[in-house]
């Protein structure tokens, strides 16, 4: 049975609740914030009905508004006195957050139909999002661009065969994530995945970090310590920025790849280590070889399979998908009023070059979710300047938007801003017209 949450600033008539219940709804009512929070914790609602019997003073109904804003993924229908619709704060709430609205007194028959439509919309939205996620993600990675399809095919091959892999790509393209995906889809998935950032370790430490040491091997070695290679036995060792390894460490790594055995510092006994190595770098190994900084024979040992993590510049069609994914992820983790991105934000997201790649996109979206004070994230929230992305042409979408705005403005002027008449002439619902007016920033005072 469908569940409906009713938030009301006063008692609701039993007849209204009974008629809604008779239409196959399980109704839960709350008249104070604590009761509402308990219901939202214990039950799962797709649709909510907010009943405001008065908007004087507005602070007395603020808890209802706050709870609506905190559950932005629900489809909300609001019923309120007609004069309240003229309040800017409430009209904005209706336009931005509500599926539909009703003016009191309640027409129960019409309300039941609206609630049914809202539930249907919630189901459609949920199904669409699920299908979109399935279509846009493989191996848990977001993207369906040609560059990502190439990467997915490479991941599949690398997961099927147990050989060393070299992953190249710019900083922030997700090379470690690709390595983890290969490991988790390989026959070694049940064993450890150990990651070492070679660039972060000094030449003195890298040998001990990789291969371990015996007690007394050097000053300060008060006990035996196993290295990351030994710790990864049966699993995968990921060496990030492998070009940063010193020549001595490279020689020991090459010996391990050839013999599948290691020696701890200060030890003489060879220790078997059944470990797969996946290496990564953002710099040119070929140039490092020419400069004598990297062994050519080690390069051939590591480069049995080569995968390249593409930049965001090569994944234009994926940028918006990633931005929405990160928005959903971070907005679920923190309290935010943001519902998504406005059109300007999406435009700059799609046109920005993203020199920091996925990592930069992720960090900008996380910061925007935390800092945004409006219902939609703007370019300013992303700290991306729209004016720096100017261009001298108009897209088809922009031309359509301009035409839509012009028609709506002309209709509102002709009907003297009578919303019901204007909506009828435009063949849209009042709710849709309110949303379009908000979208195109159309107000009586700017016509």
Residues in the chain: 447
CB 334 within 8 A of CB 365: no
| Cα four-point dihedral sign 270, 276, 281, 285 | positive
Token readout for 300 is 């051939």
Residue indicated by tokens 């480069």 = 303
What burial class does residue 373 get, using C-beta atoms within 10 Å of its C-beta: 0-12 exposed, 13-18 middle, 19+ buried? exposed
Q: pLDDT tens track of the chain, all 447 residues?
A: 899 999 987 778 888 888 899 999 999 998 888 888 899 888 889 999 998 888 766 666 788 878 887 777 789 999 888 888 888 878 887 887 788 998 888 888 899 999 999 999 888 877 766 665 555 567 778 888 889 989 999 999 999 999 999 999 999 999 999 999 999 999 999 999 999 999 988 877 888 889 888 887 777 777 888 889 999 999 999 999 999 999 999 999 999 999 999 888 888 788 999 999 999 999 999 999 999 999 999 999 999 999 999 999 998 888 988 998 899 888 888 877 788 898 889 999 998 989 999 999 999 999 999 888 878 899 989 988 654 454 444 455 666 777 777 788 878 877 878 888 888 888 888 888 888 887 777 876 555
Going along the chain from its start, the domains and CATH numbers come out as 2-134 (3.40.50.2300), 142-310 (3.40.50.300), 315-389 (1.10.8.60), 396-446 (1.10.10.60)
Token readout for 19 is 């008629």
Q: How many CB atoms lie within 10 A of CB 413?
A: 12
**Global pTM value:** 0.62
What burial class does residue 97 get, using C-beta atoms within 10 Å of its C-beta: 0-12 exposed, 13-18 middle, 19+ buried? buried
Of 19, 18, 68, the residue nearest 48 (C-alpha): 68
DSSP string, 198-256: GGGS-HHHHHHHHH-B-TTSSTT--S-B--HHHHTTTSEEEEETGGGS-HHHHHHHHHH
Q: How far apart are CA 1 and CA 19, in angstroms?
A: 15
Residue indicated by tokens 């990921």 = 238
Residue 82, classed as helix, strand or coil, is helix
């Amino acid at each position: 049975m469908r569940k409906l949450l009713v938030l009301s600033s006063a008692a609701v008539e039993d007849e209204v609740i009974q008629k809604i219940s008779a239409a196959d709804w399980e109704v839960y009512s709350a008249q104070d914030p604590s009761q509402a929070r308990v219901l939202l914790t214990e039950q799962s609602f797709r649709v909510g009905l907010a009943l405001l019997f008065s908007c004087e003073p507005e602070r007395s109904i603020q808890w209802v508004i706050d709870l609506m804003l905190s559950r932005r993924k629900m489809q909300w229908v609001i019923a309120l006195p007609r004069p309240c619709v003229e309040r800017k704060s409430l009209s904005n709430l209706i336009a931005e957050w509500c599926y539909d609205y009703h003016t009191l007194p309640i027409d129960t028959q019409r309300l039941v139909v609206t609630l049914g439509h809202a539930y249907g919309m919630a189901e459609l939205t949920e199904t669409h999002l699920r299908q979109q996620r399935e279509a846009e993600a493989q191996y848990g990675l977001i993207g369906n661009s040609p560059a990502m399809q190439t990467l997915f095919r490479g991941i599949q091959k690398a997961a099927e065969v147990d050989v060393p892999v070299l992953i190249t790509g710019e900083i922030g393209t997700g090379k470690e994530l690709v390595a983890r995906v290969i490991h988790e889809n390989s026959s070694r998935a049940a064993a450890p995945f150990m990651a070492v950032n070679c660039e972060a370790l000094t030449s003195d430490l890298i040998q001990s970090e990789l291969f371990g040491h015996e007690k007394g091997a050097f000053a300060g070695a008060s006990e035996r310590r196993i290295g990351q290679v030994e710790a990864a036995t049966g699993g995968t060792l990921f060496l990030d920025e492998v070009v940063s390894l010193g020549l001595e460490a490279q020689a020991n790594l090459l010996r391990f790849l050839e013999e599948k055995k290691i020696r701890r510092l200060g030890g003489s006994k060879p220790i078997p280590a059944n470990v797969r190595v996946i290496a990564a770098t953002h710099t040119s190994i070929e140039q490092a070889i020419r400069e004598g900084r990297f062994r050519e024979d080690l390069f051939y040992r590591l480069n049995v399979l080569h995968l390249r993590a593409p930049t965001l510049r090569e994944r234009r069609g994926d940028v918006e998908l990633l931005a929405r994914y990160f928005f959903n992820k971070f907005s679920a983790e923190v309290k935010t009023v943001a519902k998504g991105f406005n059109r300007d934000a999406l435009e700059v997201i799609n046109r920005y070059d993203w020199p920091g790649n996925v990592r930069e996109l992720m960090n900008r979206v996380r910061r925007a979710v935390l800092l945004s004070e409006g219902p939609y994230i703007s370019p300013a929230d992303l700290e991306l300047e729209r004016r720096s992305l100017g261009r001298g042409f108009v897209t088809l979408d922009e031309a359509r938007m301009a035409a839509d705005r012009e028609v709506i403005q002309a209709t509102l002027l002709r009907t003297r801003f009578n919303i019901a008449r204007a909506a009828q002439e435009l063949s849209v619902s009042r709710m849709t017209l309110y949303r379009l007016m908000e979208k195109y920033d159309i107000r009586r005072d700017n016509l």
